[in-house]
Amino acid sequence: MSTERITAAGRDETAAAELAAEQQYIDRVYRRLAVLRVSAAESEKAGFNIAKVGTFGALVERDAMVYHAARRRLALDAEYEGLVFGRLDMGPNARPPDDGPASAPVEPAVPGGEVRYIGRLGLRDERYEPLVVDWRAPAAAPFYRATPTDRMDVVRRRTIRSSGEKVVGVEDDLLDPEAAPAEMAVIGDGALLAALTRATGVGMRDIVATIQREQDDAIRSPASGVTVVRGGPGTGKTAVALHRAAYLLYNDRNRFESGGVLVVGPSDVFVGYVARVLPSLGEDAVTLRSLGQLLPGYTADRHDPPELAVAKGSVRMARVLARAARDNAPETPGRIRILFKGQLLQLDGRALSDARRDILNNGAKRNAVRPKAAGLVLDTLWRQTEELFSKAARPKREEFAQEIAERPEFREFMSKWWPRLRPVDVLGWFRDGNRLRRYCEGIYSNQQIGVLTRGFARFDPADPRVEDIALLDELNELLGEPPARNRPKRDPYQVADGVHELSTRFEREAAARRLATERPADYREYAHIVVDEAQDVSPMQWRMVARRGEYASWTVVGDPAQAAWPDPAEANRAMTEAVGKRRRDFELTTNYRNAAEIFEVAARVIRRAEPGISLPTAVRRAGVPPKHETVPELRPAVEAAVREVLAEVEGTVGVIATSVTRDEVAGWLTGLAEPRLQVVTGLDAKGMEYDGVVVVEPGALAAEGANGVRTLYVALSRATQRLTTVATNGNWLPAA
């Protein structure tokens, strides 16, 4: 037997022994978890028993108890991969953290030191000793922040990989070799690389076991003001944004759970992709929305062509909409004539215009002042009776108003002159080019007015585009709501009309869950808002998002080099206006997604357009170079490329085409009936990640809109393992 083999065998034995030891501890944790689950369920039951006392106080107490117990049980039941994923062997000088002792009830590996186990949630044993420290607690911070130069008293950091309740591997970092006892085992090649080489599933995974220090800085940054996180493709901005939402909830649950945390992403595809991350961290109190879903009653997932999107998204549109919101509706009557006791009372067009101006002065909202508008017309008509009737015959103001207000001709007049307007009605007026031109005059250039008139001519109120939602939200604000509709308060325990009591435990559990996660659809007072892919949020969209967080603190995450927005200064101004100026900036510099060979192609493309750009470093090599095919006909080559990539990777495959060709390309591939496959536009590819990517006609993506080259950069930086491009012309690729 060679020495080398003996060493390898010895190493295997040590690894097996370490795994077994960790398994023992993890078994203990799961036994405790089972006990806690039962006790949470019992608290819920106890809560129901309190109800039998029957007093109002008892009912309130029961609700609180059942609610908290149900929440705790839901957290304990949450789906996760590896409840415990980390272990810190601290040296003898380690101090207990501010939030109390964190030392696990096991023999320390370093004499005089302590052991901390880190996991998705905090658990204590029956003697109240910390079995597991929540990853967000201060005691867990060294797991993410310790480095060989700043060890934070950590001797060895261990990442524990599990499948269900079974430990399948450990990866160690020895940070302080001098403090480590001779027999201390150090195993594995590094947790990060192990995490990065796994196949991509349909949804994004949390990175809680391998958060890197620069990411941790941003995640744990203080809650107040604005935290801005920038970084190139694949640097973990989305991951950071989501883990930060979980961190904030942990640290100030009262504030952030009651106020709410909103995460805004670019598209529905993206929201679907990241939806699982927060629940896997045990958090379900976060609202996740795409920019096309922010205004209740409307949903949009398709985009306008770039030129139109730019014109609609400009802050100038706010002034155009303000003009429209004050304008006459089409077919507004030019006058009102009422016959009263044989006399003709009337207001002509001019008097009506003056009345409109008076009513809408000082920013009054049109729908909100409908009763005031009717009152003003009635007043003006009544004043005319002074000259037409003798003092004795003149009606009293109230009688007159009552009688006229009920007349069908008056009602009809009001419904035309001051109709209750929905935002989509007003945007529908923009289909009339003359009207639109009038609103845009002096605000937009002639060329842009042309783009807008052509674009709005195709506007379908039943099928708005993502860009329209911000305009509709602006109109919603300008038009306001009709007054004094006493909206019933939402009652989470109402199961049916008039039935206020829940009779079964299941119903009450469901209600507790709803209470924790749901807010009214038009909720606008979020305590924290996270905006992902912020580089693509237009000024009009910033205004829309800002309306949901007047008093919010913010996390804004993006990469200017991936921006589709042509005027970064305008977008920046809009962002500052929305979120305020008190900002903390963080920069992420390592690309964890792309194999280096793949990112090199994306880098070539963006460097040609922006030579001075600073780009992240990719940490991993795939060992397979990307393929670039130039072919006379796209369809057969795309089909073949997709088949090949599907066969080569285990996880998901994305096919990226222009917004004009996406549907056609999707049609070519329907025969494959492959659930791992997704066909998306360059815009929908934002934020996404696939194991394999086929980019169809990269040159056409680069030519889509003024910033197409950035969209191509996005498309080329989506793949973890395989990239194939299929083009009819190879000029798009700059020389290496």
Ligand X SMILES: Nc1ncnc2c1ncn2[C@@H]1O[C@H](COP(=O)(O)OP(=O)(O)OP(=O)(O)O)[C@@H](O)[C@H]1O
Which residues bind to ligand X, rule: CB under 6 A?
A: 192, 195-196, 205, 207, 210-212, 215, 231, 233-239, 559, 562, 592-593, 687, 689, 717
The smaller minimum CB distance to ligand X, of residues 233 and 654, is found at 233
Task: List Cβ neighbours of 412 (8 Å cut-off, separation of 6 or more).
Answer: none
Q: Is 433 annotated as a binding residue?
A: no
The smaller minimum CB distance to ligand X, of residues 466 and 715, is found at 715
User: Please, what is the minimum distance in Å from the beta carbon of residue 524 to ligand X?
Assistant: 27
User: Please, what is the minimum distance in Å from the beta carbon of residue 606 to ligand X?
Assistant: 12
- Provide the token pair at 134: 């929540």
Q: Is 272 annotated as a binding residue?
A: no
Q: Is 236 annotated as a binding residue?
A: yes
User: Please, what is the minimum distance in Å from the beta carbon of residue 532 to ligand X?
Assistant: 7
Give the β-pairing of 528-531 and 553-558. parallel
The smaller minimum CB distance to ligand X, of residues 309 and 563, is found at 563
Say whether 195 sits in a helix, a strand or coil: helix
The smaller minimum CB distance to ligand X, of residues 314 and 535, is found at 535
The smaller minimum CB distance to ligand X, of residues 283 and 689, is found at 689
Give the β-pairing of 677-681 and 719-727. unpaired
Edge-to-edge strands, sheet with 653-657:
627-630, 719-727, 690-696, 653-657, 677-681
Say whether 231 sits in a helix, a strand or coil: strand
Alpha-carbon span 256 to 262, nearest angstrom: 10
User: Please, what is the minimum distance in Å from the beta carbon of residue 36 to ligand X?
Assistant: 29
User: Please, what is the minimum distance in Å from the beta carbon of residue 568 to ligand X?
Assistant: 16
User: Please, what is the minimum distance in Å from the beta carbon of residue 289 to ligand X?
Assistant: 17
Q: What are phi and psi of 497, to 5 degrees?
A: -50, 125
User: Please, what is the minimum distance in Å from the beta carbon of residue 148 to ligand X?
Assistant: 18
Q: Is 238 annotated as a binding residue?
A: yes
Closest residue to ligand X in the complex (CB) = 236
The smaller minimum CB distance to ligand X, of residues 195 and 596, is found at 195
- Provide the token pair at 387: 């000259």
Nearest residue to 221 (alpha-carbon basis) of 535, 526, 554, 548: 554
Alpha-carbon span 470 to 49, nearest angstrom: 49
Cα separations in angstroms, 473 against 34, 250, 422, 423, 480? 47, 32, 11, 7, 10
Alpha-carbon span 506 to 154, nearest angstrom: 46
Q: Which residues pair with 681 in a beta bridge?
A: 657
Give the β-pairing of 617-620 and 627-630. unpaired
The smaller minimum CB distance to ligand X, of residues 196 and 515, is found at 196
User: Please, what is the minimum distance in Å from the beta carbon of residue 535 to ligand X?
Assistant: 9
Q: How far apart are the first and last CA of the chain?
A: 49
Alpha-carbon span 204 to 270, nearest angstrom: 10
Say whether 64 sits in a helix, a strand or coil: helix
Residue 216: count other Cβ atoms within 10 Å of its Cβ.
17
The smaller minimum CB distance to ligand X, of residues 162 and 215, is found at 215
User: Please, what is the minimum distance in Å from the beta carbon of residue 89 to ligand X?
Assistant: 21
Q: Give the DSSP letter of residue 496.
A: B
Provide the residue type at 232 as one letter. Answer: G
Nearest residue to 618 (alpha-carbon basis) of 597, 642, 640: 597
Q: Is 265 annotated as a binding residue?
A: no
The smaller minimum CB distance to ligand X, of residues 40 and 561, is found at 561
The smaller minimum CB distance to ligand X, of residues 691 and 697, is found at 691
Task: List Cβ neighbours of 183 (8 Å cut-off, separation of 6 or more).
Answer: none
User: Please, what is the minimum distance in Å from the beta carbon of residue 261 to ligand X?
Assistant: 18
The smaller minimum CB distance to ligand X, of residues 198 and 341, is found at 198
- Provide the token pair at 534: 């912020």
Cα separations in angstroms, 245 against 250, 251, 530? 9, 10, 8
Cα separations in angstroms, 717 against 85, 609, 734? 29, 16, 16
596 burial class (0-12, 13-18, 19+ CB within 10 angstroms)? middle
Say whether 658 sits in a helix, a strand or coil: coil
Question: Residue 134: which H helix or E strand, with range?
Answer: strand 130-134
Task: List Cβ neighbours of 538 (8 Å cut-off, separation of 6 or more).
Answer: 309, 310, 312, 313, 314, 467, 470, 565, 571, 574
Q: Is 231 annotated as a binding residue?
A: yes
User: Please, what is the minimum distance in Å from the beta carbon of residue 476 to ligand X?
Assistant: 30
C-beta separation of 725 from 694 below 8 A: yes
User: Please, what is the minimum distance in Å from the beta carbon of residue 445 to ligand X?
Assistant: 33
The smaller minimum CB distance to ligand X, of residues 88 and 239, is found at 239
Binding-site members are 231-238
Binding-site members for ATP are 231-238
